[in-house]
A and B are shown apart, each in its own frame.
Chain A
Amino acid sequence: MLARDRDAVAEALNLVEDRRAGPREAALELLDRLEREAPFPGAPRIGITGPPGAGKSSLLDALVRHLRPRGERLAIVAVDPSSPKSGGALLGDRIRVRAAAADPGVFLRSMAARDRLGGLSEATRAAVVILGAAFDRVFVETVGVGQSEVEAAALVDTLVYVANPGTGDWLQFMKAGVLEAPDVFAVNKADLGATARTTAGELEGGMGLGEATDTAWSRPVILVSAREGTGIEKLVAAFDAHRQAQEAAGALRERRRRSGESWILDGLERRYGSYGLERCGGREALRARLAEGPAASSFARLTELGREIEDALRKPA
């Protein structure tokens, strides 16, 4: 993986999606090694989220077109919701991100959010770690339907919210409190002119309504047009500025650690329920243990705590 072998990357992604016991063990071992051995901080991890129709995929396409000539090797994880009825999913991003087609410098993997509508599958984080080791920059695209923004923020170093001008979508998200999560706002379809500028203005004005998680970073609102390719350079500059700001403040390691903890706890809760967590002292106690625990990878910690909970569940209450 660290040698950037494309076949190995694809196989590793198959492995981490595998739910059988044997491959699962192997996957955790691989991820554990990767998290410990890959140099920190590795590739920037950037989340792209926003409501359906905001043009997230087109924006990704424009980003690929902008970044590829700079020689950056890019990876994209595109997460689409699964159908709650059949469990199936239509993963349509390969069509929309045309710049990725047949370019050996771009790797695109579509994943279904198997757990629930808009939710991110557990394998997404593993995919981010794998692709982060083998590529220069990793994008994670998710449909914003509420809570998933918060989850997306935990997977990446920088979360971009793509706003759709003139729809007022962002206001709904603001009310739901999820606009606290993004680090950068991109108002797409700037080619619409006044409508886009109004939305940008509203977002800037409304920013005070939601407390930013990071007070040292002033969250920019950037007008972009995926269609015309305008504003993309500014957007990339904002990604890089955010990364530098985090590194300067030592916040990147902290963000990854915190998000790792949340990911472990969410994973445990999905598997064993809040009851399982209670048996080992509850979510907050477990979080405290993770914070002071040894420097193992989040994947190793997940396995370890999982075993502990299973043991606890086997004993009579």
Chain B
Amino acid sequence: MTSARAPERERPWVFRTYSGHSSAQASNQLYRTNLAKGQTGLSVAFDLPTQTGYDADHPLARGEVGKVGVPIGQIDDMTELFQGLPLDRMNTSMTINATASWLLALYVAVAEQQGADPKLLQGTTQNDIIKEYLSRGTYIFPPGPSMRLISDLVAYSVDAIPKWNPINVCSYHLQEAGATPVQEIAYAMATAVAVLDAVKARPDVPAAAIPRIVGRISFFLNAGIRFVEEVCKVRAMTALWDEIGRERYGVTDETLRRFRYGVQVNSLGLTEAQPENNVIRIVLEALGVTLSKNARCRALQLPAWNEALGLPRPWDQQWSLRIQQILAYETDLLEYQDLFDGSRVVEARTAELQAAARQELQNVLEQGGVVAAVESAYMKQRLVESQSARTQAIESGEQIVVGVNRFTEAEPSPLLAGGQSFLEVDASAEREQIERLRAFRSRRGQAEVTAALQNLKDVLAAGGNVMPPSIRAAHAGVTTGEWADALRALFGEYRAPTGVVPRRVSTASPRTREVQERVKTVSARLGRTLKILIGKPGLDGHSNGAEQIAVKARDVGMEVVYEGIRLTPEEIVQSARDEGVHVIGLSVLSGSHGTLVSDVLERLRRAGLASLPVVVGGIIPEEDAARLRQAGVKRVYTPKDFDLTRIMGEIVDVVAESDPAV
């Protein structure tokens, strides 16, 4: 009989906390404190200007600097971020995509400064553009050049920084965008296949290197609350990846076909109502990806209980780190062999998911692969449909969310008592970062910068690998915005299809029909159909919420001008006027609502459109919401407002109140 116990206690996964804010210096302090508390890996959150390739003083960066992560504008920022943290002994995960090759170049350059051997660098660049098009929105370039940049990084790293995971194929954001487990598995595998096919086709990559490259591909998963299914999902992915490695890429070494993945457990499902319950959700979600030894995550990051309220404080993040430590060190989880081998139930569900995902993967491959399926909006439409089904199920009460649509009676939470229960980014962070950047620009050697940028352009235009000239540019003192501008000039910019054209209009519930009638009545009084502009100002690309609002507004009979992401306040005001809309809906999740929304209101006033009502949705603390209402915003919605039908009804009210004709 085989022993139930593992021969020796398993080493725990890498404990990370996704963090970074305000400045390189503040984030460095945070990393040191976290490591001292027993965190074993770093996970760097970059701010949106860094993620989308703008310098801190670019107009689009306004209000976004240091908000959702650390601003890295040039090499000195990177040096400061890792001050006192020897890079050859760190394991660093960087959530960076469109500008991944640039941030890795800065990282390598800092390692070289520190005298570390790049061959010893360990960590991950996320570097997955597909889910940016589908969900997260921080892409810059069109799919063709983006895939080239990804494969450049992969091809470069395999020899130069061989312990690095050059890409973290993300299914995390697909689940956030509404993916069912089958879609999550299939689209992640399709993305990995697209990357590997692109790398395989490169003349500079020898066929013999392919198995090693397959072995370097890692994944980044989401773990939801349905944790039994999540166990089956990770087992299905493990089996499917092994199959793809063997059959599609002919990898004979079994260790190179291992499904290696990191996890951030679901942040989107965390609730604003009764937020203390989120701790329990986080624990259960962590179980889904740690219980099965043969499909256990390699690295885990847990969100904080109060993420739906605002930015977590160090104490909130510490609480989540302790969850990991208790699970790994106090429980007996790591003492056993796989708990589910031979379980008929788990194996049957795993097989089901695997078969269905294999079929959907085939479906995407037959359409020309994942890039074609982005451009045709096939995947995006599937995701928007799944997401609509999910939000409807919550709205109707069919899917229970404790504290949100059931069991809403609650005592006041002591956790929320006594002032602010989340972190406020220092308002001076943006100004200081701009000052630092300008000082850096004036002291750097301009001749070297010019030469390095020219070299970057020349190498790229000639079809060369982006990494070596980027590392040179990093040392020379090129800024993030300059690097990205050079590539923009060469590759152009892109806007991905939105998928907000789902084929079927869902059957209207009686409440929806009621709102439809009100839209008709108000439209008749207005003289034309109620028209709404929906858009996202600033650099935040998380468009799932805005898309759901757009689809719902169409379903209640409004004419919806859906303007998508990355808009300047100026663009929003011009569109509102040209389109003749009756109301503007803005969505901001990056925490920069203050600056951006006031800017829109101010520009509306100057355009003589002061009476045009504005509603705002986002992760907006109550104090900020009050300030926005005072500034003239008619309604403010936060994650606790899950009832889209009610929101639509209120928007009709807002229009009716604002128009003298109604």
* In the complex, chain B residues whose CB is within 8 Å of the CB of A82: 559
Which of A25-84 touch B at CB < 8 Å?
Answer: 53, 82-83
- 30 A-B residue pairs with CB within 8 Å: A6-B577, A6-B578, A10-B579, A10-B580, A11-B580, A13-B580, A17-B528, A82-B559, A83-B555, A85-B505, A86-B516, A87-B529, A88-B553, A88-B554, A88-B555, A88-B557, A88-B559, A88-B560, A90-B550, A90-B554, A90-B562, A91-B559, A91-B562, A92-B500, A94-B561, A94-B564, A96-B495, A109-B578, A110-B559, A110-B561
Among A88, A95, A101, A107, the one with the most B-chain Cβ atoms within 10 Å of its Cβ is A88
A137 beta carbon closer than 8 Å to chain B: no
CB of A109 within 8 A of CB of B579, answer yes
A104 to B278, CA, bound (A): 48
Which chain B residue shows the least CB distance to A111?
A: B559
CB of A90 within 8 A of CB of B560, answer yes
A20 beta carbon closer than 8 Å to chain B: yes
A114 beta carbon closer than 8 Å to chain B: yes
A83 to B568, CA, bound (A): 30
A116 beta carbon closer than 8 Å to chain B: no
CB of B505 within 8 A of CB of A90, answer no
Knowing A14-B528, A94-B564, say if A86 contacts B555 (CB, 8 Å): yes
A89 beta carbon closer than 8 Å to chain B: yes
Contact string, A110-126, partner B, CB cutoff 8 A, digits 1/0?
Answer: 10101000000000000
A57: min CB distance to chain B, Å? 10
Partner of A108, one of B555, B559, B578: B578
A23 beta carbon closer than 8 Å to chain B: yes
Which chain B residue shows the least CB distance to A61?
A: B495
CB of A89 within 8 A of CB of B559, answer yes
Knowing A95-B495, A98-B495, A102-B574, say if A7 contacts B608 (CB, 8 Å): yes
B451 beta carbon closer than 8 Å to chain A: no
* In the complex, chain A residues whose CB is within 8 Å of the CB of B524: 19
A18 beta carbon closer than 8 Å to chain B: yes
A19 to B520, CA, bound (A): 13
Knowing A85-B508, A91-B559, A101-B571, say if A20 contacts B564 (CB, 8 Å): no
A82 to B560, CA, bound (A): 10
Which of B542-591 touch A at CB < 8 Å?
Answer: 550-551, 553-564, 567-568, 570-571, 574-575, 577-580
Knowing A94-B563, A96-B495, A112-B529, say if A87 contacts B557 (CB, 8 Å): yes
| Sample of 9 more A-B contacts, CB < 8 Å, known A14-B528, A82-B559, A87-B519 | A17-B527, A86-B554, A88-B555, A92-B500, A94-B562, A95-B563, A98-B493, A102-B570, A108-B578
Contact string, A1-15, partner B, CB cutoff 8 A, digits 1/0?
Answer: 000001100110110
A17 to B168, CA, bound (A): 50
A87 to B515, CA, bound (A): 12
A185: min CB distance to chain B, Å? 23
A159 to B498, CA, bound (A): 28
B116 beta carbon closer than 8 Å to chain A: no
A189: min CB distance to chain B, Å? 11
B376 beta carbon closer than 8 Å to chain A: yes
A155 to B479, CA, bound (A): 50
CB of A90 within 8 A of CB of B527, answer no
A316: min CB distance to chain B, Å? 31
B501 beta carbon closer than 8 Å to chain A: yes
CB of A86 within 8 A of CB of B563, answer no
* In the complex, chain B residues whose CB is within 8 Å of the CB of A88: 519, 529, 553-560
Knowing A14-B528, A112-B529, say if A92 contacts B559 (CB, 8 Å): no
Which chain A residue shows the least CB distance to B554?
A: A88
* In the complex, chain B residues whose CB is within 8 Å of the CB of A98: 493, 495
A90 to B499, CA, bound (A): 11
CB of A23 within 8 A of CB of B527, answer yes
Which chain A residue shows the least CB distance to B502?
A: A90
A34 to B659, CA, bound (A): 28
* In the complex, chain B residues whose CB is within 8 Å of the CB of A109: 578-580
CB of B529 within 8 A of CB of A10, answer no
A23 to B575, CA, bound (A): 23
Partner of A18, one of B527, B551, B607: B527
A262: min CB distance to chain B, Å? 24
Closest 5 CB pairs of A and B: A18-B527, A88-B554, A95-B564, A14-B580, A20-B527
